[in-house]
Amino acid sequence: METEARRWTRRRFLGIGGGIAALLLAGDALEAAGAVAKRWKRGPVMYRLSLRGRRGSRAAKKHNANLRFATARAADRNRAFAGDNSRIVAVPVSLGEYVRLFIRRRSLVADLRKL
């Protein structure tokens, strides 16, 4: 009986509790991503701005190169400047990538330079 009590140290108890909490939090993030994925017919979609085939400034090209957006509305709100004529392009992405870029970070904008 006494040896059983010695096995449950505070460090072990906190380690197991922390592990369980991490699993529950990861499960919530995946569940939220799954709810979002049900809205998509062919899988998750992220958006980017593109100047391909259009005239645009170097500043807009640099701005567009590394930014990804969870919604088209977020992409429209985050243009390089007021007169930017970049197109909003839908890009299919895996569910894991979508979760990594937007769900876990709780953001609509992902800057690939800072990840």
* Residue 11: per-residue pLDDT: 74
DSSP at 83: T
* Residue 47: per-residue pLDDT: 94
Both tokens assigned to 8:
């449950």
Number of domains in the chain: 1
- Give the residue, 4 or 50, on which the prediction is more confident: 50
Domain of residue 18 covers: 2-114
Cα(71)–Cα(88) distance, rounded to whole angstroms? Answer: 10
Tell me the per-residue pLDDT of 10-56, one tens digit each, with 9 for 90 and over.
776 666 666 666 655 565 555 555 655 555 567 789 999 998 888 88
* Average pLDDT of the segment spanning 56-66: 86
Per-residue confidence at 9, pLDDT binned at 50, 70, 90? Answer: confident
Half-sphere CA count of 69, side-chain side, radius 13 A: 19
Cα(42)–Cα(90) distance, rounded to whole angstroms? Answer: 12
